[in-house]
Amino acid sequence: MEIVGTEYPFPMGAVEPHAHALRQPPESQLLYKIMSAQNFVRSISGNYLHFQRADTYGDDKSDGEQLPLDRPFNEGPRFEKSPEYSAARYYDESRSRSYACCFSLEYTPYIWQNYGNGDANGKICIEFNFGKLRKYLNGVVESSINSGTLMLGEIRCKQIFSINYGIVEYVDRESHRNNETVLPNPESYLFLKDKRYKDEKELRISLSAIGVGKFECNPGVPLVFPAGLPLQLEFKKAIDAGIIVRIIVSSDANRAYIGEALERIGVRMKIDEGE
């Protein structure tokens, strides 16, 4: 893969390049992720965590988008060698190349009620240890950076994604500004959400590529960023290592369906019942 439309060298991904600007919980923090039983079985069968492209969320159409009051000011600054390319366009492009995997910092009725719905097999909650999960995923990303390659679906490409972790800040999107003094890093918009979502109490993991230039898999073949992106997480290893602390199922969950999927990867563990 190469990047065209810019004179800058190809930008490889990095591990937590924006950690200094993001709020993070202590290493011992527990995280909670709700998903449908079907998506859980897919994830453990494929050994991955699912990341969703920021501009494709169905519930929050403005996820990761620059704030309304920011956009007019972001339209002003232009790139010296590409005067038609504004900072606002840069933020939009960055958003279309950024992915998120979402967790809650608290185990609450809210997350049970609002996520993982619509599956006759019920839903599950995975309880993670933040510090151990962070170390594991950083290792996965660092390994792909060292090897220089990443699988994007069926496409083998250079490792263009950086991983970051942060606690989401909830603001009034209509009145808040993020660019009053300086142009913010595009990553900051991924960790701002409207205050109506504050009950999520979200910890977000992002995978993002830069928003300038155009990526090509092969000469003349543009890279299409898919709506979803899997990042390796070997569930058996994660359970054995204490990265996954507990698996909790809804009261209406199909325990046999979930248990069989765990047995197929060689895992037998106590499954707790939640909401």
Q: How many structural domains comprise the chain?
A: 1
Instruction: Give the count of beta carbons closer than 10 Å to the beta carbon of residue 48.
Output: 17
Q: CA dist 233 to 178, 199, 237, 242, 246, Å?
A: 34, 27, 8, 13, 16
Question: pLDDT 10s digit of each residue in the chain, 275 long?
Answer: 333 434 445 567 899 999 999 999 999 999 999 999 999 999 999 999 999 999 999 889 999 999 999 999 988 867 666 777 788 999 999 999 999 999 999 999 999 999 999 999 999 999 999 999 999 999 999 988 887 666 666 666 778 899 999 999 999 999 999 988 888 999 999 999 999 999 999 999 999 998 777 777 667 777 888 999 999 999 999 999 999 999 999 999 999 999 999 999 898 777 877 76
Tokens 């979200």 sit on residue = 202
CA angle, corner 21, sides to 18 and 27, nearest 5?
80
* Residues composing the chain: 275
Dump pLDDT digits (tens) for 173-221. Answer: 999 999 888 889 999 999 999 999 999 999 999 999 987 777 776 677 7
Residue 23's domain comprises 2-273
Nearest to 54 by CA among 96, 22, 13: 96
